[in-house]
Amino acid sequence: MLTEDNDTIAAISTAPGVGAIGLVRLSGPDSIAIADRVFVGSKRPSEMEHSRVQFGRVVRDGAVLDEVMLTVLRSPQSYTGEDVVEISCHGNPLILRDVLSAVIDAGARLATGGEFTRRAFLRGKMDLCQAEAVMELLSAQTEEAKRVALSQVRGRTSQEVARLREQVIRAKVELDASIDFPDDVSDEALMGSDTARGGSSVKLLLDTARELDAMISAFAASQQAQRLPTAAIVGKVNVGKSTLLNALLAEDRVITSESAGTTRDRIDADLALSSGRRVRLSDTAGLVVPRDELDVKARVKMEEAVRSADFLIMVFDASSPLEDEDAQLVKTWGAGPAVLVLNKIDLGERWDPSVLVGKCGDLSQAPVVRTCAISGLGMDELDGALDKLLCAVTPEVPSEACVVGTMRNERLLQRARDAINAALAASHTGSWPEFASSDLAEALGAFNEFLGIDVGVDILDEIFSRFCIGK
């Protein structure tokens, strides 16, 4: 942001598209010191002469991220007029992301659109006409990038973030109301240690932090698995999901039994199809009305797996009538690519798959495979169906904008979560709600950045519509 011109910024700066070479560029007073922290070569970057190039490795936690060429440009003889370090990496966006992530962990900040140009202009390295031309281009690109980033997370993630933001606003409104209108709004009922007598904000924030945790680990999981497409196996309890996974893997990796609900944790396994394509399978706990804490946890894990999956393997019991859980499954997760598996076909087919498709139009294109996982019947057909689906959903190598966007989003959600946890801690330890309110403002800032909106919330507006205020 404009407001901090004295720190060190970093960005991927290459021509768009996947090229042979990608550039991670640092600018600012700590550029060279940061390079010292991540680069291993025959010389430390701080000992390098101006505009010299050196071969070496970018390393994090002992692991080599890439073999690179590193250039040091000392102030004022650089594009921005500041100390600049350029790290030429291999052109794979995922590698670029790792390198960028490493320099950020080492002390740089992710640059915002136009920041390099702004610095160049302010330090007299560029005249107004040049700068304005670049900015014009950039602001068009920013709009474009925002659109891409939004479409990338549109649907589930951005809707969920918007919902969490609303929850935080609600909590902040209650806090602020108790601060500015103590005669009208009692604060004990809102925050403070007295959760029993209300504490609605505390509960709301606890839920929000929990949901953020789940989203952040889903982010991390999706990044881990980015080189391998993922399929989640879902279905109500005891339709034979784990048996199906074992049959696919041809090994008894998952413990199965005849009693319902044996799989409480999610289990991941990599599968090589007969075509040679690989896919990571996630076995999930069966869909069930939660009976205990363990069920709730299993449900959270299942949702995590589904959220990060590229497609779903929806398993049904062909031999017994469809139940509410089946319908719910289709209703909740039916959008998006999936294969429908009618298992236990050896015990008979009691219903027509078109019944399912009727409940969710998106499934009309989904292949239907009939299996008996115990005997291995239909497994070849499933292999074929998976292969076809895999061809369709295998993600292209993500663009740089997308890679950086994902990193940015994950960090923003972490920031929001940390701020909410700080607010909760403040509310537990003392009765000064203005601390918690300040933390929630921080969380809202992160949500706003995530959603690409820059509008302040009219907290007062919310207060007046919810509380009867005023003498």
Partner 1 sequence: MSASYDITVVGAGHAGCEAALAAARMGCSVLLVTLNGDKVAAMSCNPAIGGIGKGHIVREIDALGGQMAQVIDRTGIQFRLLNRRKGPAVRGPRAQADKASYSRRFKQVIESQQRLDLVQDEVLELLVSAGHVEGVRCLFRGEIATRSVIIAAGTFLAGMMHIGTDSFAGGRLGDPSSSELSRSLKRLGFELLRLKTGTPPRLDGRTIDFAKLTPQSGDEPPPKFSFVIPECNGNKVNCYLAKTTPKCHQIIRENLERSALFSGKITGIGIRYCPSIEDKIKKFPHRESHHIFIEPEGLATDECYANGFATSLPYDVQIAMLRAVPGLEEVKITRPGYAIEYDFIQPTNLHPWLETRRIAGLFLAGQINGTSGYEEAAGQGLIAGINAALKVRGDKPFVISRRESYIGVMIDDLVTFGCKEPYRMFTARSEHRLLLSADTADERLMGYGRQFGLISDEAYDSMMDRRRARAREMHALKRAHPKGQHAEFAGASLLELLRRPEVRYADLTDRFGFESNLSLADRDILEMQVKYEGYITREEKKLAGAAKLDKIRIPEGTDFQRVPGLRAEIRERLAESRPATLGAARRIPGMTPAALSVLSIHIAGRGSRGGTSKADELVPVVRRPPISAG
Q: Given the rule CB under 8 A, which residues bind partner 1?
A: 1-4, 112-115, 117-118, 121-122, 128, 131-133, 135-136, 138-140, 142-143, 176, 179-184, 187, 429-435, 437-438, 441-442, 454-456, 459-460, 463-464, 468-471
In the complex with partner 1, the residue whose CB is nearer, 291 or 471, is 471
Q: What span, in angstroms and rounded, lies between the C-alpha atoms of 174 and 188?
A: 11
Q: How far is the CB of 96 from partner 1 (least distance, A)?
A: 22
DSSP string, 299-331: HHHHHHHHHH-SEEEEEEETTS---HHHHHHHH
In the complex with partner 1, the residue whose CB is nearer, 20 or 468, is 468
In the complex with partner 1, the residue whose CB is nearer, 67 or 143, is 143
Q: How far is the CB of 124 from partner 1 (least distance, A)?
A: 9
Dihedral sign for Cα 448, 453, 455, 459, please. Answer: negative
Q: How far is the CB of 471 from partner 1 (least distance, A)?
A: 4
In the complex with partner 1, the residue whose CB is nearer, 117 or 158, is 117
In the complex with partner 1, the residue whose CB is nearer, 289 or 455, is 455
Q: How far is the CB of 460 from partner 1 (least distance, A)?
A: 6
In the complex with partner 1, the residue whose CB is nearer, 324 or 434, is 434
Helix H or strand E encompassing 207: helix 200-224
Cis peptide before 76 (omega within 30 of 0): yes
What's the DSSP call for residue 382? H
Helix (H, G, I), strand (E, B) or coil at 229: coil
Token pair 């921005």 in the structure block, residue: 80
| Distance from the first to the final alpha carbon of the chain | 42
In the complex with partner 1, the residue whose CB is nearer, 376 or 456, is 456
Q: What span, in angstroms and rounded, lies between the C-alpha atoms of 286 and 264?
A: 8
In the sheet with 267-272, reading across from the earlier edge strand, the strands are 267-272, 278-283, 230-234, 311-317, 338-343, 368-370
Q: How far is the CB of 438 from partner 1 (least distance, A)?
A: 5
Token pair 């900040």 in the structure block, residue: 109
CA nearest neighbour of 289 among 222, 214, 236: 236
Q: What span, in angstroms and rounded, lies between the C-alpha atoms of 288 and 159?
A: 25
Task: Specify whether the CB–CB gap between 96 and 406 falls below 8 A.
Answer: no
In the complex with partner 1, the residue whose CB is nearer, 187 or 387, is 187
Q: How far is the CB of 468 from partner 1 (least distance, A)?
A: 4
Q: How far is the CB of 281 from partner 1 (least distance, A)?
A: 42
Q: How far is the CB of 440 from partner 1 (least distance, A)?
A: 12
Torsion, Cα of 440, 445, 449, 451 (10° steps): 50
Helix (H, G, I), strand (E, B) or coil at 458: coil
In the complex with partner 1, the residue whose CB is nearer, 179 or 377, is 179
Q: How far is the CB of 435 from partner 1 (least distance, A)?
A: 6
